[in-house]
Amino acid sequence: MTSFTPVYPVVWQDDRVLLIDQTRLPAEYSVVEIRLCADMVTAIKTMIVRGAPAIGVAAAYGIYLGAREISLTDRAEFLEALEQVSQSLAATRPTAVNLFWAINRIMKVARATSGSIEQIQAKVLEEAHAIAAEDLHTCQEIGRHGLSVLPTTPQKLRLLTHCNAGALATAGYGTALGVVRSAWAEERLERVYADETRPRLQGAKLTTWECVQEGIPVTLITDSMAAHCMKLGTIDVVVVGADRIAANGDAANKIGTYSLALCAKAHNIPFYVAAPVSTIDFELAEGSQIPIEERDPSEIHTMGSTRICPLGVEFYNPSFDVTPAELIAGIITEHGVFTPAELKEKTQPFQHL
Ligand code: MRU
């Protein structure tokens, strides 16, 4: 079996952040150097970096970059300016709660640090490093716990996933693809089925790329083929990531996840969500309260450089949907696997805030 090949989408090096440019994969592997907070804001908005935990890590480093740019010497004024920095990062993408979780965590440390401006800046960078390191470990734990709930028959599973909840979407290793990596290492996996994930094609472009990097067999299907594959009996389990999970277990993830869950239910196939506790928003009682990002219509009216519909058409392009808790067999976290009903009680004590 092939061993884990590290993919790190957000890396601090010397005095800057290195981002794998996810808009160019798989055609081109390139790295973008980010030195300014404004450039991090753009990188998150344009999805050079994407995926809930990854944008949290990126924003954490973005606050440090912003802190470095502030020349004020008065502590109160400095913290006020840092607040503005954090708000510019928070305004990038609305759905993934990890973004706000990481920003809140960094700002809390900044406010709690006494001493000089330099000391506050140093603490902010230290906390960003901690968030990145913790996320990597968290994903490995998600992978480990996921093994305990994967069906035991057949011996080697055919696992369907949606979008990209892989190393590229986290600090490394991945959530849903963390489970894939663990299952592959334990020889429990026959192959991954990857939904292409219209409109931005994270499944086709990124999930297949990660699988190919590691020699994990992967079959690409379009989103509309999933139900057919389930009916034919070629899918044993579905594992997806999440961008925000409400306290009752309703889970927002990439658009198309909800229909996948409905299809899985209809075919009696277990449907799991793999996510860190930082993806759970305990302040929201249910999924209908999760803000859903709407992205530019160009994502759906144009393919490559070709417009695929006539002028005069109207568009609706929600980037996420919410899967109701009753369709979810379990939520695979770094602290174990929980049903939606037990999620709040079992995981809230672990949330770092
Ligand atoms: O719009 P994206 O590409 O940022 O959406 C990503 C997803 O929906 C992922 O499934 C989710 O963030 C989980 S990543 C571990």
Closest by CA to 276, choosing from 177, 194, 351, is 351
Round to whole Å and give the CA distance between 2 and 10: 24
Taking phi over 0 as left and psi of -120 to 50 as alpha, with beta for the rest, 197 belongs to left
243 is catalytic: yes
Decide if domain 151-352 falls under CATH 3.40.50.10470: yes
- Can you tell me the distance from the alpha carbon of 173 to that of 178, in angstroms, rounded to the nearest whole number? 5
Q: Do 10-140 and 151-352 agree at the fold level?
A: no
327 contacts 265 by C-beta, under 8 angstroms: yes
> Which sign, positive or negative, has the C-alpha torsion 178, 180, 181, 183?
positive
Write out the chain's pLDDT in tens, 353 residues. 444 458 999 999 999 999 999 999 999 999 999 999 999 999 999 999 999 999 999 999 999 999 999 999 999 999 999 999 999 999 999 999 999 999 999 999 999 999 999 999 999 999 999 999 999 999 999 999 999 999 999 999 999 999 999 999 999 999 999 999 999 999 999 999 999 999 999 999 999 999 999 999 999 999 999 999 999 999 999 999 999 999 999 999 999 999 999 999 999 999 999 999 999 999 999 999 999 999 999 999 999 899 999 999 999 999 999 999 999 999 999 999 999 999 999 999 998 65
- What pLDDT does residue 2 have? 44
Rounding to the nearest 10 degrees, give the CA dihedral for residues 95, 99, 105, 108: -80
Q: What CATH number is given for 10-140 in this structure?
A: 1.20.120.420
Quickly list DSSP for 139-194. HHHHHHHHHTTS--SSSSEEEEE-S--BGGGSSSSBSHHHHHHHHHHTT-EEEEEE
Own/partner pairs, 199-202, CB within 8 angstroms, 24+ separation:
199/299, 199/300, 199/317, 200/47, 200/299, 202/50, 202/163, 202/164, 202/254
Q: Measured between alpha carbons, how far is residue 317 from residues 226, 294, 298, 299 in Å?
A: 21, 5, 9, 8
Q: Which of 243, 317, 331 to mutate to test the pocket of ligand 1 (most atoms within 8 A of CB)?
A: 243
- Three-state DSSP state, 41: helix
Residue among 135, 223, 243, 321 flagged as catalytic: 243
Number of CB atoms found within 10 A of residue 279's CB: 26
- Cα–Cα distance, 65 to 55 (Å, whole number): 15
For a substitution probing ligand 1, which of 21, 46, 135, 164 has the most ligand atoms within 8 Å of its CB? 164
What does the alpha-carbon distance between residue 223 and residue 258 come to, in Å, rounded to a whole number? 12
Nearest residue (by CA) to ligand 1, atom 8, is 254
Nearest to residue 257, comparing CAs of 175, 327, 342, 166?
327
From the CA of 294, how far away is ligand 1's center (Å)? 14
Order of strands, sheet of 336-338, starting from the edge strand that comes earlier in the sequence: 218-221, 189-195, 157-161, 237-240, 271-274, 330-333, 336-338
Q: For the chain, what are the domain ranges?
A: 10-140, 151-352
- Ligand 1 pocket (Cβ < 6 Å) reads 50-53, 96, 163, 165, 169-170, 175, 202, 241-243, 253-254, 319
* 179 vs 144: CA distance, rounded Å: 7
**Can you name the residues that pair with 157 across neighbouring β-strands?**
189
pLDDT at 26: 97
Q: What is the CA radius of gyration of the chain?
A: 20
